[in-house]
Amino acid sequence: MNATQLIQKKRDGEILSAQEISDLIQGITSGAVSDYQASAFLMATWFRGMNLEETAALTKAMVESGEHVDLSSVQGPIVDKHSTGGVGDKVTLILAPLAAACGLKVPSMAGRGLGHTGGTIDKLESIPGWLARQKTEEFLKTLSTVGCAIISQSEKIAPADRKLYALRDVTATIDCIPLITASILSKKIAEGTQGLVLDLKVGNGAFMKSATQARKLGKTISQVAKRSGLKCRVILTSMDQPLGNTAGNTLEVLECIDILKGANAPSVLPQTEHAPCSSSDLKELTLHLCAQMLELGGVCKSVAQGRKLAQSRLEDGSAWRKFIEMIEAQGGSRVDLEQPQGRLPLAEKTITLTAGKRGVLTRIDTETLGWALVEMGAGRKKASDPIDPSVGMILHRKLGARVTADTPLLTLFVNPKISSDDLERIQKSIRGALHITAASKPIAKLVLESL
C-alpha cells in the first residue's frame, strides 16, 4: 500500500475500494501511516466525501482494527444510546442508569469532548476516583450486576477510531458524514450492543446545522448499521440552545444528580444570587430516548409503555440508586454523590451576565457558547490539553424568555488564574451569542422527528 497514492486518489474524488480502505486503516492503526498522512486523508474525505459502500467499508475496517467485546455472558436485552454531541448534553449520565433500572443492559462506550461539544467521559471524570477504563472482565461484571457501565474506548476497541477521533478534533474534520458514521458505528459494533438509539442533534449548536444534513447522516448511519446487523433507530433533536441549565463538567454532573434524586430533594447545584432555569428539557429528552430504547430492546411493546415505565423508575429512585452503583463499581464514592458540595471541583469565581436591554431572548449561538467553554478550559484546543472540570456556566434564561436590562442570563464559573484579557474576550463572545429582539420568534421543538 502506498498511503500517498490513496490520499491523492481520495483528494481527486475517486472511489476507494474496500481493500484500499482496509489497508489504509491498518496502516493508521499500526503507525505505518503517519499522523500527518492520516490528517490529510481526513481532510480529503471531508472535501470529497464517500459513497455508501466506502462508508460501510470504512466502518468495517475500523471495527476490525481491534477486538470485539463478547457480551454473550450478559443476560438480558443489550441496547445503547449515542448522541452526536452538543452543549450541555449530559443525557447519558441519567439515561444509562435509568434504562438499566427498567431492565436493559447498557454498555455505553462514550467519548471525550469533540470540538465545541462536551464529552461524557470528561464530565464523569469530575467525580473523584471514577475510572473511565475497565478491563474487559470488570466491564462485563459491572454490566451484568449493575446493568450499565459508561467507559472510555479501550486501546483494543476500534483503535483506529481512537486515533482518528483525536485528529478530527484538531483538524476541523469533525462534521463529515462518512467519518461520523464510521466513528459511531465502529465503537458500537465492537462493544457488542444489539441495538442503538441515536440522538442526532440538529441546530446551531450541533455539527449538523440543518435538518437536511441531519437526515442524510441519519439515513447513512441506519443503512450502514443494517448492513452490519445492528438494530438502529435515529431520533432528530434540537440543539439550538444548551440542553438543561448547565454547561461545564462538574456543573453538568450536579444537574444530573438533581434530576436523578428528584424534585423533592434539595438541589446540589451551587447557590448563586439567581436561580437556574428549568431542566425540564433535559428530563423530557432523557425519558423520550429511554422509551425508544425500551421498545427497541423488547422490554416494552410500545414507546408509550416505555415512557410510562421510565417515568416510574425515575420517580421511585431506582435510577438514582443505579447511578450510585455504577459510579461505585468504577471507583467513585457514594459520599461524593450524596454530598458533592466541596467534594467535586468547582471554581469559586463567578461572573453573571445580564441582558443589557429589554426584549425577548430569540436566539442563542450555541456553538459560540461551546467554544467559549473551551477557552475557559472545559474543553480542548488540542488533543493533549488538560480539562478543567471546575469551570462552566449556569443558565438563568432560555429561548423565549422576556427580559429587561437587569435580567440575569447566565453565570460563569471561571478559573481565577485566567487573564483579564482572556476573560474579557470570552465575555464579549458570549454576549454576542445571546440575541435579544423586540418581538418573539418560533422555537424549535425539542424532538424534531424519528427516522
Question: Using 50, 70 and 90 to split pLDDT, how confident is the model at 134?
Answer: confident
Quote the pLDDT of residue 10: 97
Quote the pLDDT of residue 129: 96
Mean pLDDT over residues 314-343, rounded?
96
* Residue in 122, 161, 281, 388 annotated catalytic: 161
Q: What is the pTM of this model?
A: 0.91
Question: Using 50, 70 and 90 to split pLDDT, how confident is the model at 115?
Answer: confident
What sign does the dihedral 217-221-227-232 (CA atoms) show? negative
- If asked whether residues 280 and 220 sit together in one domain, one would say yes
Taking only the tens place, the pLDDT of each residue in 409-450 is 999 999 999 999 999 999 999 999 999 999 999 999 999 999
Question: Using 50, 70 and 90 to split pLDDT, how confident is the model at 162?
Answer: confident
Query: What are phi and psi for residue 369, nearest 5 degrees?
Result: -60, -40
Q: Pairing state of beta strands 349-354 and 402-403?
A: unpaired
Quote the pLDDT of residue 126: 96
* Residue in 10, 82, 116, 398 annotated catalytic: 82
- If asked whether residues 217 and 97 sit together in one domain, one would say yes
Quote the pLDDT of residue 382: 77
Residue 72 included in any domain = no
Please give the grid coordinates belonging to residue 26.
491498518
Q: For residue 44, give the CATH number of its domain.
A: 1.20.970.10
* Residue in 183, 222, 238, 390 annotated catalytic: 183
DSSP structure class, residue 108: E
Mean pLDDT over residues 249-258, rounded?
98
* Residue in 168, 201, 261, 283 annotated catalytic: 168
Task: Please identify, among 286, 311, 338, the residue that sits at the C-terminal boundary of a domain.
Answer: 338
Reply yes or no on whether 161 is catalytic: yes
Please give the grid coordinates belonging to residue 445.
421543538
- If asked whether residues 234 and 371 sit together in one domain, one would say no
Quote the pLDDT of residue 424: 97
For 159-194, give one letter per residue: b (16+ CB within 10 A) or e: bbbbbbbbbbbbbebbbbbbbbbbbbbbbbbbbbbb
Domain of 151, in residue numbers: 79-338
Q: Which residue has the cell 437587569?
A: 406
Quote the pLDDT of residue 154: 74
CB atoms within 10 A of CB 415: 16
Reply yes or no on whether 308 is catalytic: no
Residue 442 included in any domain = no
Quote the pLDDT of residue 131: 95
| Cβ neighbours for 60, distance < 8 A, ≥ 6 positions apart | 18, 22, 228
Quote the pLDDT of residue 407: 98
Reply yes or no on whether 385 is catalytic: no
Q: For residue 289, give the CATH number of its domain.
A: 3.40.1030.10
Quote the pLDDT of residue 287: 98
Taking only the tens place, the pLDDT of each residue in 219-230 is 999 999 999 999
Return the closest-CA partner of residue 150 out of 204, 210, 82, 209: 82
- If asked whether residues 334 and 355 sit together in one domain, one would say no
Residue 65 included in any domain = no
Q: Roughly what angle, to the nearest 10 degrees, separates helices 52-63 and 177-191?
A: 40
- If asked whether residues 178 and 290 sit together in one domain, one would say yes
Mean pLDDT over residues 165-182, rounded?
90
The amino acid at 286: T
Rg (the chain; Cα; Å): 21
Residue 61 included in any domain = no
Residue 56 included in any domain = no
Question: Using 50, 70 and 90 to split pLDDT, how confident is the model at 388?
Answer: very high
Reply yes or no on whether 336 is catalytic: no
- If asked whether residues 362 and 424 sit together in one domain, one would say yes
Question: Using 50, 70 and 90 to split pLDDT, how confident is the model at 156?
Answer: confident
Task: Please identify, among 311, 338, 365, the residue that sits at the C-terminal boundary of a domain.
Answer: 338
Task: Please identify, among 307, 338, 369, the residue that sits at the C-terminal boundary of a domain.
Answer: 338
- If asked whether residues 148 and 235 sit together in one domain, one would say yes
Mean pLDDT over residues 135-159, rounded?
90
Taking only the tens place, the pLDDT of each residue in 178-236 is 999 999 999 899 988 999 999 999 999 998 899 999 999 999 999 999 999 999 999 99
Quote the pLDDT of residue 17: 97
Measure the CA–CA gap between 326 and 82, rounded to whole angstroms.
18
Return the closest-CA partner of residue 239 out of 200, 207, 206, 191: 206
Q: Which of 167-181, 263-277, 287-301 is modeled with the greatest confidence?
A: 287-301
Please give the grid coordinates belonging to residue 354.
445580564
- If asked whether residues 276 and 355 sit together in one domain, one would say no
- If asked whether residues 161 and 246 sit together in one domain, one would say yes
Mean pLDDT over residues 272-276, rounded?
92
Q: For residue 365, give the CATH number of its domain.
A: 3.90.1170.30
CA distances 21 to 26, 54, 155, 336, Å, are: 9, 8, 21, 46
Return the closest-CA partner of residue 150 out of 90, 194, 104, 110: 110
Reply yes or no on whether 301 is catalytic: no
Quote the pLDDT of residue 155: 75
Question: Using 50, 70 and 90 to split pLDDT, how confident is the model at 21?
Answer: very high
Please give the grid coordinates belonging to residue 114.
469533540
- If asked whether residues 123 and 242 sit together in one domain, one would say yes
CA distances 325 to 42, 95, 98, 317, 449, Å, are: 40, 14, 12, 13, 34
Measure the CA–CA gap between 88 and 378, rounded to whole angstroms.
11
Residue 450 included in any domain = no
Task: Determine contact, residues 89/284, Cβ cutoff 8 Å.
Answer: no
| Count of structural domains, the chain | 3
Question: Using 50, 70 and 90 to split pLDDT, how confident is the model at 263?
Answer: confident
Quote the pLDDT of residue 148: 97
Measure the CA–CA gap between 328 and 385, rounded to whole angstroms.
27
- If asked whether residues 248 and 364 sit together in one domain, one would say no
Check whether 317 has a pLDDT greater than 90: yes
Return the closest-CA partner of residue 101 out of 338, 253, 281, 293: 293
- If asked whether residues 368 and 294 sit together in one domain, one would say no
The amino acid at 207: F
Quote the pLDDT of residue 124: 97
Check whether 381 has a pLDDT greater than 90: no
Q: Which residue has the cell 474524488?
A: 13
Residue 58 included in any domain = no
Mean pLDDT over residues 331-340, rounded?
96
Residue 68 included in any domain = no
